[in-house]
Amino acid sequence: MNRKSVFLVLVSLALFLTALILKRGEITTLALPFLIYLFQGILDSPSSTAIQVTRSMVADAASGHGQFNQTLTVKNNDACDVHLEIRDVIFPTMTLLEGNLSQSLCLSSGEEITLTTKFLAKRGIYSWNSLLVHVFDPLQVITEARILPALSQIMVKPETVKLRHLPLRPRKTLHTTGNIPARLAGSGTDSWGVREYQLGDQLQRLNWRKIARNPRHLYTNEFEQEEITDIGLIVDARMLGNSSSVEDALLEYAIQAAASLAESFLREGNRVGLLIFGKRIIHLFPGYGKIQLNKILCSLTLTEMRPYLSLNQLQYLPFRLFPARSQLIMVSPYAEPDLSGYTHLRANGYPMLLLSPDPVDFWIKSKPNQPNQQTIYQVAHLDRQLQLKKLFHIGVQVINWQVDQSLNAVLQTALTRSNKYSNLGGQ
The mean per-residue pLDDT over the stretch 150-165 comes to: 88
Q: In the beta sheet, which residues pair with residue 104?
A: 85
Are residues 238 and 125 part of one domain?
no
Are 242 and 279 in a shared domain? Answer: yes
- Asked if the model's pLDDT at residue 182 lies above 60, the reply is no
Q: 118-136: string of b/e by CB count within 10 Å (b at 16+)?
A: ebbbebbebebeebebbbb
Choose between 118 and 27: higher pLDDT: 118
218 and 144 in a common domain: no
Q: Do 85 and 16 reside in the same domain of the chain?
A: no
Task: Check residues 141 and 403 and name the one with the higher pLDDT.
Answer: 403
Q: Based on the domain organization, do 363 and 380 belong to the same domain? A: yes
Instruction: Give the pLDDT of residue 374.
Output: 75
Query: Do 341 and 217 sit in the same domain of this protein?
Result: no
- Residue 237 maps to which CATH number? 3.40.50.410
- Domain membership flag for residue 72: yes
Q: How far apart are CA 224 and CA 239, in angstroms?
A: 43
Domain assignment present for 169: no
Name the more confident of 115 and 25: 115
Please state, in angstroms and rounded to a whole number, the distance separating the CA atoms of residues 107 and 75: 8
CA–CA separation, 105 and 108 (whole Å): 10
Supply the pTM of this predicted model.
0.74
Does 304 share its domain with 364? yes
Q: 400 and 294 in one domain?
A: yes
Whether 315 is covered by a domain: the verdict is yes
pLDDT at 419: 38
Does residue 427 fall inside a structural domain?
A: no
Instruction: Give residue 120's domain range.
Output: 48-156
Question: 83: part of which helix (H) or strand (E)?
Answer: strand 82-87
pLDDT value of residue 253: 92
Pairwise CA distance, residues 327 & 352, whole Å? 6
Q: Is residue 367 part of a domain?
A: yes
Q: Is the pLDDT of residue 184 over 70?
A: no
pLDDT value, residue 345: 85
Q: What is the pLDDT of residues 18-42, one digit of tens each?
A: 878 877 777 777 777 777 766 766 6
Is 161 part of a structural domain of the chain?
A: no
Question: Is the pLDDT at 60 greater than 70, yes or no?
Answer: no
- For residue 7, the model assigns a pLDDT of 72
pLDDT for the residue 190: 59
List of residues 6+ apart from 282 with CB closer than 8 A: 274, 275, 276, 299, 302, 303
More confident residue, 86 or 15: 86
236/345 same-domain check: yes
Q: Is residue 421 part of a domain?
A: no
- Over residues 213-253, the pLDDT tens digits come to 888 788 777 766 667 788 899 998 887 665 567 778 889 99
CB atoms within 10 A of CB 426: 17
Among 227, 262, 285, the domain-final residue is 227
With beta carbons less than 8 A apart as the criterion, state whether 195 and 222 touch. yes
What pLDDT digit, counting tens, does each position of 389-423 carry?
998 889 888 999 998 899 998 998 888 764 344 33
Last residue of a domain, one of 227, 260, 290: 227
Q: Both 341 and 305 in a single domain? A: yes
Q: Which amino acid is at 151?
A: L
pLDDT at 425: 43
Instruction: Give the integer Cα–Cα distance in Å for 7 and 34.
Output: 9
Q: Counting beta carbons within 10 angstroms of the beta carbon of residue 267, is it exposed (0 to 12), middle (13 to 18) or buried (19 or more)?
A: middle
Q: Identify the three-state secondary structure at position 63.
A: coil
394 and 370 housed in the same domain: yes
CATH code at position 53: 2.60.40.10
Question: Is residue 390 in a domain?
Answer: yes
Select from 202, 227, 252 the last residue of a domain. Answer: 227
Look at the chain and report how many structural domains it folds into.
4
Considering the domain architecture, whether residues 249 and 293 belong to the same structural domain is answered as yes
Asked whether residue 257 carries a pLDDT value surpassing 90, the answer given is yes
Q: Which residue has the higher pLDDT, 370 or 297?
A: 297
* pLDDT top residue among 171 and 229: 229
